């Protein structure tokens, strides 16, 4: 009995030791695969020409699987129902297998699959979705190599930042064949499909990290995420301090959605030589609404207000500039009203009495008093422009220096052009505070934002009309594995 008992103890101890060794081996493999993920990202996204990773495992097998899985992106038109394939490529994978356990690098993430076939995310993929903007540098794996035990993997770049969307050289198929692959995406939804041995891990990631609708297809090991956003108009808001933002989310970009956009700015001492802007630089576009007050209250306000609007589309290169340099804030019908008794300036961006003229903006003060001053100075608006993006536009043509329309029309048009989801950031002058300059963004104050406020209401997108900006690139790394 004593001998038998000793034998049982030895066998049990051996099983426990083997289990502990396997666990330690798996943890080392996870650490190594996470390191591989980090270095592959450096190569794929352009920070490094090549990287190496040593897999110092005692057991298990590493191999590249260049044909494993795929990622597809489709844009579904909301009105016509047409669906366009924007991207469809094999992902590939680098896989470590040890018994019934499996680790894989795929799509810029690390995944673990257990003996029951369930997959979990260890390190997230290169998939970044905020509001209605998807940034997706697809990382694909090529190579045909394998190794067991202690091996070294060398990672080099085959393709870097190849444009997928936006890409003005590509157009949608008929009947929208004249429409280029450019932002913002309108009239539809965007769905991303991933077919993978680790599809359930992808599904978990999409559910936890996005606001999209996730569907799992077990029959072909595929997961689909349809992207959407759940925010809406801010309504009444306290004015953010300089450098902070008002969230514009869920805006219906199919027309002129603004119904109420007013702000009340409290002077920080006085408005003399006051420069104040709301701007946005998201999605590669540039947008700035700039207010300049030259005078100050002296019993009453006896000067004029300058208002300018600048829009630049980073995908198409469009430049649009509008200005009115002689707004009378004492006119009761004006979009601007200054109350000298309270030192408050009220602005109604949806005013239909004050007009703006289509023209090259004359910068008031030096360029650094504007967010995009240098860009406005360098870029010329075309001699004429036809606005036909929305039903309310009326396909009207505006000639430089003579064409004009109401502030409500112009502000509505370009805020809609900016897309579904973006931020309007506050800039307060007149100091040396060009917002895009290194160390810029703070000037001397003419507005006390802490006691200023506003209201922003607009028609909101509904159903699947959510995704607005796509930034997708194709990146492929080659992985060679050897002793």
Q: How is 118-175 classified by DSSP, letter by letter?
A: -EEEEE--S-EEETTEEEEEEEEEE---EEEEEEEEEEEEEEEEEEEESEEEEEPPTT
Note down pLDDT in tens along the chain; length 483 residues: 333 333 333 344 444 445 656 667 778 888 889 999 999 999 998 888 899 988 776 677 889 999 999 999 999 876 566 789 999 999 999 999 888 889 999 999 999 998 888 899 999 999 988 767 899 999 999 998 888 877 888 999 998 999 999 998 998 886 555 678 888 776 678 999 999 999 999 999 999 888 788 999 999 999 999 986 445 688 999 999 888 889 887 788 889 999 999 999 998 877 788 899 999 988 789 999 999 988 888 778 888 999 999 999 988 999 999 999 999 999 999 999 999 888 899 999 999 999 999 999 999 877 888 999 999 999 999 999 999 999 999 999 999 999 999 999 999 999 999 987 788 999 987 554 456 544 444 445 788 999 999 999 999 876 544 566 899 999 999 999 765
* Strand intervals (E) in 294-395: 305-312, 319-327, 336-339, 344-348, 355-358, 384-387
Q: H-helix or E-strand containing 480? A: strand 469-482
pTM: 0.54
Q: H-helix or E-strand containing 74? A: strand 70-77
| Whether the Cβ atoms of residue 18 and residue 91 lie closer than 8 Å to each other | no
| Whether the Cβ atoms of residue 81 and residue 480 lie closer than 8 Å to each other | no
Sign of CA dihedral 202, 203, 204, 206: positive
Secondary-structure breakdown of the chain: helix, strand, coil percentages, each rounded to the nearest 5 = 20, 45, 35
pLDDT at 231: 57
Spatial separation of the C-alpha atoms in residues 151 and 35, rounded to whole Å: 14
| Whether the Cβ atoms of residue 301 and residue 339 lie closer than 8 Å to each other | no
- Domain positions in the chain are 52-228+468-482, 235-458
Sign of CA dihedral 93, 96, 101, 103: negative
Q: Which two tokens stand for residue 456?
A: 């922003």
Nearest to 151 by CA among 99, 112, 95, 206: 95
Beta strand 404-406 pairing with 344-348: unpaired
**Angle value at C-alpha 13, between 9 and 15, nearest 5 degrees:** 120
């Amino acid at each position: 009995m004593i001998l038998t008992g000793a034998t049982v103890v030895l066998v049990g101890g051996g099983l426990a030791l083997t289990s502990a060794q396997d666990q330690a081996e798996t943890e080392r493999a996870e650490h190594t695969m996470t390191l591989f993920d980090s270095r592959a990202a450096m190569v794929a996204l352009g920070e490094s020409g090549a990287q190496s990773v040593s897999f110092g495992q005692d057991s298990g097998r590493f191999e590249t699987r260049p044909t494993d899985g795929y990622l597809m992106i489709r844009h579904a038109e909301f009105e016509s129902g047409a669906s366009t394939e924007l991207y469809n490529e094999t992902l590939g994978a680098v896989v470590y297998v040890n018994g019934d356990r499996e680790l894989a690098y795929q799509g810029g993430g690390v995944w673990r699959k257990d003996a029951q076939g369930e997959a979990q995310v260890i390190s997230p993929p290169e998939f970044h979705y905020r509001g209605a903007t998807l940034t997706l540098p697809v990382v694909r794996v090529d190579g045909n190599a394998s190794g067991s035990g202690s091996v070294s993997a060398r990672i080099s770049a085959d393709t870097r930042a190849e444009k997928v969307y936006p890409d003005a050289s590509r157009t949608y198929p008929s009947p929208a064949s004249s429409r280029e692959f450019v932002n913002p995406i309108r009239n539809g939804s965007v769905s991303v499909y991933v077919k993978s041995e680790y599809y359930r891990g992808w599904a978990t990631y999409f559910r936890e990290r996005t606001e999209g609708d996730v569907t799992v297809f077990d029959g072909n090991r595929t997961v689909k995420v349809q992207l959407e956003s759940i925010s809406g108009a801010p309504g009444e808001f306290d004015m953010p301090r300089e450098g902070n933002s008002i969230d514009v989310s869920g805006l219906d970009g199919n027309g002129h959605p603004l119904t109420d956009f007013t702000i009340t700015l409290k002077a920080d001492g006085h408005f003399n030589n006051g420069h104040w802007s709301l701007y946005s630089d998201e999605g590669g576009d540039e947008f700035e609404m700039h207010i300049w007050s030259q005078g100050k209250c002296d019993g009453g306000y006896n000067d004029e207000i300058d208002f300018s609007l600048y829009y630049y589309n980073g995908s198409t290169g469009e430049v649009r500039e509008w200005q009115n340099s002689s707004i009378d804030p004492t006119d009761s019908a004006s979009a601007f009203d200054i109350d000298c008794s309270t030192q408050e300036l009220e602005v109604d961006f949806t005013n239909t009495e004050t007009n703006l003229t289509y023209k090259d903006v004359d910068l008031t003060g030096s360029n650094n008093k504007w967010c995009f001053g240098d860009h406005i100075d360098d870029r010329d608006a075309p001699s004429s422009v036809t606005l036909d993006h929305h039903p309310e536009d009326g396909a009207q043509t505006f000639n430089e220096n003579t064409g004009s329309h109401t502030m409500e029309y112009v502000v509505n048009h370009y805020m809609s052009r900016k897309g579904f989801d973006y931020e309007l950031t506050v800039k307060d002058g007149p100091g040396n505070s060009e917002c895009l300059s290194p160390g810029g963004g703070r000037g001397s104050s003419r507005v006390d934002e802490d006691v200023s406020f506003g209201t922003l209401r607009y028609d909101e997108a509904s159903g699947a009309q959510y995704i607005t900006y796509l930034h997708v690139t194709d990146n492929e790394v080659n992985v060679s594995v050897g002793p």
